[in-house]
Amino acid sequence: MPTKSYPERYAVFGNPVSHSLSPKIHALFAAQTAQDMTYEAICAPLDGFADAVNTFIAVGGGGDHGVARGANVTVPFKLEAFRLANDLTPRAAAAGAVNTLSFSRHGIQGDNTDGAGLVRDLTANLGMSLTGLRILLLGAGGAAQGVILPLQEQNPAVLFIANRTADKAHRLADLFGVTSGSFDELNQHTFDLVINATSAGLSDAVLPTPTFSATAFAYEMVYGVETSFMRAARAAGARVADGLGMLVEQAAEAFFVWRGVRPDTAPVLAALRAELSADSSRAAQA
């Protein structure tokens, strides 16, 4: 009698994780591409990330659990995931952080799809070509480092990293061979694309407004709120996007890594956008 097979298992690990849109995004991708898989959100204890991942892997394949094939990793575990992986893709090594794990009999591979997600949102969804652009990256933390290599691969004319703590920007710039400076220097340069990779958007702290070119674009990695960075960029005449597209595209890239199938992101992005705007209009009425 053939043994019953269970769907392969995936998860997102974070703490907190209940707000994560990843289970919804991957369920939509799986339905669209007819992949037999499950995807759950797991809140790992702050001191128990590796144990939580190893348990997720260990329960697979026996009893009534499908084999665990992969996981996404979100705040605050991306550095621990980097350390947990026994093999890193070049883009994960450059990012210094891992957001996508793949499990096989060879062990745990760590990848980072954030930068690819950003580039795909900018190029495929927002219609930009990054080649020859003057790009300013605000921030020098993990979110900034995660996108530098994929941005460099697009051959911009300039990639300039600026950070409140300028030393951190210089250190990253030295690592990748790009230029850097302090916030005070920003008014000396003009940029075609400004990417906010600081976490200032979460607190709505005010960032310095750089000089935008006539056709400039401002990209905020935070999504679902109009940050002060977005307001200032609009006031300066730039076109503005939030990070919802990056979120969906980094998920699509992870899905492709795991399943070898590239989902159509447009309907998923549209559904999430509609949901977020319904939520914010409900909040405005409340």
Catalytic sites, residue numbers: 78
Region near ligand ATR per CB under 6 A, out of 82-90, 107-115, 136-144, 230-238:
136-144
Counting contacts by CB under 6 A, is residue 116 touching ligand ATR? no
207 near ligand ATR (CB under 6 A): yes
**Quick check: 265 binds ligand ATR (CB under 6 A)?**
no
**140 touches ligand ATR by CB under 6 A:** yes
The verdict on 136 binding ligand ATR (CB under 6 A) reads: no
Q: Does residue number 205 form part of the binding site for ligand ATR (CB under 6 A)?
A: yes
DSSP 40-57: EEEE--TT-HHHHHHHHH
Distance of CA 149 to the CA centre of its chain: 14
Q: Which of 14, 70, 110, 142 binds ligand ATR (CB under 6 A)?
A: 142
Cβ 51 to ligand ATR, closest distance in Å? 23
Question: Considering only 61-69, 199-207, 237-245, 270-278, which stretch makes contact with ligand ATR by CB under 6 A?
Answer: 199-207
Q: Does 163 bind ligand ATR (CB under 6 A)?
A: yes
273-278, Cβ contacts within 8 angstroms, sequence gap of 24 or more: 273/244, 276/223, 276/224, 276/244
CB–CB of 60/249 below 8 Å? no
Which residue, 24 or 171, has its beta carbon nearer to ligand ATR? 171
Interface with ligand ATR by CB under 6 A: which range of 123-131, 160-168, 228-236, 258-266?
160-168
Closest distance of CB 10 from ligand ATR, Å: 23
Residue 276's closest CA among 19, 12, 13? 19
What are the angstrom distances between the C-alpha of 86 and each of 50, 108, 224?
Answer: 12, 6, 35
Q: From CA 254, how far away is CA 41, in angstroms rounded?
A: 15
Select the residue interacting with ligand ATR from 198, 209, 227, 250 (CB under 6 A): 198
> For the CA atoms of 265, 101, 20, 239, what is the dihedral angle to 10 degrees?
-50
Number of residues that bind ligand ATR (CB under 6 A): 15
The C-alpha angle with vertex 140 and arms to 135 and 143, in degrees rounded to 5, equals 85
Shortest Å distance, C-beta 229 to ligand ATR: 10
Determine contact, residues 245/273, Cβ cutoff 8 Å.
no
Structural contact between residues 100 and 73, judged by C-beta atoms closer than 8 angstroms: yes
Which residues sit at the interface with ligand ATR, rule CB under 6 A? 139-144, 163-165, 168, 198-200, 205, 207
